[in-house]
A = this chain, B = another copy of it.
Amino acid sequence: MRPRIVLFGDSITEQSFRSGGWGASLADTYSRKADVLVRGYGGYNTRWALFLLHHIFPLDSSIKAPAATTVFFGANDAALQGRNNERQHVPVEEYKDNLQKIVQHLKKASPTMLVVLITPPPVDEEGRMEFARSQYGEKAMTQPERTNEMAGVYARQCVELAKELGVCSIDIWSKMQETEGWQKKFLSDGLHLTPEGNAVVHQEVVKVFSEAWLSAAEMPYDFPHHSKIVPQDPGKVFQQKCW
């Protein structure tokens, strides 16, 4: 069974196999080398994600644990109290604590698992308001339910925790804001990703994986490239261990 890469997260992970999505691109990058499985749950925060942990990453399974897992939560945890999506809000201290529980569980499932924490992306408050108006018209909220500043507070806690636990992290909140016009370039509705935004996540995940030990370029093909097959004796190359 080939190595498995699990993408665990909220809607930004769930939607990652749409056209131009970072999950699909990752599956393409690791084609013939590792399987990419999506475990994305739209609307979920870290508090609710804890209920899924034992099902998605069982500790008593006969099946080998994933080689790598991305943990991409926080966009919903950071929803503001007293606003439209307050049911999703999780206080930042609990967010950090929940992330720690997730990492500890994954490391218990497999001490060698490559765990990569991804911070919530930045928020374009204007984009969120426009989206709300397009959905709810005049009934739309007049104040954003998420702010970029608050997403940044969660992002910093995520990065800090990764350092404390010695796992990798991707500060996508900061990374995206390095590019001028990130608000519309990378975000489709102020929160979810455009194809360009997906490309940034894909690129960063590949970078972190490669800097660790999961470099697609250095992993062997599962079977020989077709150019290595000798038509007169096709079976020969399949008996060899190195192609």
How many residues belonging to A are interface residues under a CB distance threshold of 8 Å? 43
A31 touches B52 (CB 8 A): no
Which residues on B sit within 8 Å (CB–CB) of A82?
none
- Residues of chain B lying within 8 A (CB to CB) of residue A19: 19-20, 24-25, 195
What is the count of identical protomers in the complex? 2
Encode A10-48 as 1/0 by CB contact (under 8 A) with B: 000011011111011101100110010110111110011
> 20 other contacts beyond A19-B195, A55-B223, with CB at 8 A cut-off?
A15-B28, A17-B24, A17-B25, A18-B28, A19-B20, A21-B24, A23-B24, A41-B226, A43-B225, A44-B226, A47-B234, A48-B229, A48-B234, A51-B223, A51-B234, A51-B235, A52-B223, A55-B222, A63-B63, A87-B231
| 19 residue pairs A–B, Cβ–Cβ below 8 Å | A15-B28, A17-B27, A17-B28, A18-B28, A19-B19, A19-B20, A19-B25, A23-B24, A23-B27, A31-B40, A41-B223, A41-B226, A42-B225, A43-B225, A43-B227, A44-B226, A48-B229, A51-B238, A52-B223
